Structure 1
Amino acid sequence: MTAPVDALIALGANLGDPRANLAWAVRELAGVGVVTGVSRVYRTAPVGGPPGQPDYLNAAARLRTTLTPHDVLAALLDIERRSGRERRERWGPRVLDLDLIAYGDLSLDTDDLTLPHPRAWTRAFVLAPLHDVAPDYAHPGTGERVRDALARVGLHGVHAERDPLR
């Protein structure tokens, strides 16, 4: 356990009922910390992976946690497992994908966890939902804020859904 820290979580799904899967995951995050913000839902085409996958629904959550970063990661992997996710191929279709994007202002590079997430600041499907919950969060290595990264990357191919998660 640590002092309370804000963690940023990216959520994605493109199998089963993706919207229901994301909503369920947000509810499950209450076991990881206090959820203080949830983004709108965004629809995007898959990036990488096998052809013919359905579109992804993406979202982000901000939570206040006293867990260590590795404990947050373990909790996210457990939520994925309980959702029925099977890890078969990189960037393949999935019932649920949860990524720890940032943990306060911590920079970390271990065998199983890199913070901030190494590709988050280049992916519109991560940045658009993050902008909803933490537009002024600054990458601890570069100082670039989420809002500025999103302006740089653009919203091409990222479409906000009308209905919020419930």
Structure 2
Amino acid sequence: MAPTTYAIAIGSNRYGRHGPPARTVAAAVAALPGVIAVAPTIASAPLGPSLRRFANTVVLVRVTDDPPALLRRLKAIERRFGRRSGRAWGARILDLDIVLWSGGHWQQRTLTVPHRAFRERRFVLAPLAVIAGDWRDAQTGRRVRHLAHLVDRPRARP
């Protein structure tokens, strides 16, 4: 397969073997293959029941893996960092998600690219807009910069 580019979201909100979440995120960036761009790390509120704030960033990687092969690599990195299966939406040492890829859309039972929820997640869109603001979402056709603007816009109350 020819090299393709992926946007990978990285998050941590638990102290791990690399230290606090921001250092875990930095170590995860260093563990990823083919990194070509790294967004600034931001702090964000958790989704769901976790009370701990997250450190988040997004990186661009260029690799020859198809989406399932890259997902397997990401899951192996998560395990090396100490991530274990647990409660959905709970605290985690490391979370690595494929957000976008230059191949457009990918759909399987265990993997959907673009990531199903990235359009509603400021903690993904804000860093991604810094390094890939002109990248278009394969489903909506909108640029990442525009999606980031939409997620920041106050919502009208019914």
The TM-score normalised by the length of structure 1 is 0.87
Counterpart of 1:124?
Answer: 122
Q: Does 1:18 align with 2:28?
A: no
Counterpart of 2:3?
Answer: 4
Partner Cα separation in structure 2 for residue 35 and residue 140 of structure 1: 22
User: How far off is 1:155 after superposition?
Assistant: 7.7
Which runs of structure 2 are paired with 1:20-39 in the superposition (5 Å)? Answer: 20-30=23-33, 34-39=34-39
Partner Cα separation in structure 1 for residue 70 and residue 85 of structure 2: 19
Q: Which runs of 5+ in 2 are unaligned?
A: none
Partner Cα separation in structure 2 for residue 155 and residue 60 of structure 1: 21
User: How far off is 1:121 after superposition?
Assistant: 1.0
Instruction: Give the alignment's Cα RMSD to 1 decimal.
Output: 1.3
Q: Which runs of 5+ in 1 are unaligned?
A: 157-166
User: How far off is 1:102 after superposition?
Assistant: 1.1
The TM-score normalised by the length of structure 2 is 0.91
Partner Cα separation in structure 1 for residue 8 and residue 124 of structure 2: 9
SS in 2 for 1:102: strand
Partner Cα separation in structure 1 for residue 85 and residue 126 of structure 2: 25
Q: Contact between 1:105 and 1:139, CA under 8 Å: does it hold in 2?
A: no
Q: Contact between 1:13 and 1:97, CA under 8 Å: does it hold in 2?
A: yes
SS in 2 for 1:100: strand
| Identity across the alignment (%) | 37
User: How far off is 1:106 after superposition?
Assistant: 2.1
